Amino acid sequence: VRLAQGGWGLREEEGPSANNPRVCLVLIGRRREPLQETAALAEKYGAICQVAPCDVTNEGCVKATFASAKAAFGRVDLLFNNAGTNIGATSVVDFSSTDFRRIIDANLTGSFLCAREAMRMMKDQVPKGGRIINNGSISAQVPRPGGVAYTCSKFGVSGLTRTLALEGRAHNIPVGQID
């Protein structure tokens, strides 16, 4: 089963092929409607989908979502960490600590919580292993003015990815990042 955060990004021309009959997706996101739209599109191509509304900053919700995926499909083969948020360009002197924490929680803490649950399952399943892909950003290497929290969160995702990759090696869990 593949777990993907967010209901955005799957376009009809990119859907699973009809020659791949067993693609199971667990779509995780805060809002049910975009997840259902994505599921309907994937199901047109033969995917089996589970829609899982979940706030990835909520540890209990993340744990319950992964437990549900395990109950439904028995394993997790791929996690694509894609949840994220930002606000418009705001100078650091005007940036509220509330917005800073919200962005860090969604972009970094949510990725950590989902990756941790995925690794727990992947290292114990038979056959052992899986793949984790984190969605980073070029902002981690080339910050933009007005994006302090986003830049910090994506810099953190890069560190998270590197640490997960080191720890995942022993369990056949490669971890990578796209920017």
Q: Is 45 a catalytic residue?
A: no
Peptide bond preceding 127 in cis form (omega within 30 of 0): yes
Give the start-end residues of each E strand in the chain: 2-5, 24-29, 48-53, 78-81, 131-135, 175-178
Three-class DSSP category at 133: strand
Nearest-angstrom CA–CA distance, 131 and 78: 5
Nearest-angstrom CA–CA distance, 144 and 83: 20
Set 38, 150, 152, 168: catalytic member: 150
Catalytic residue positions? 150
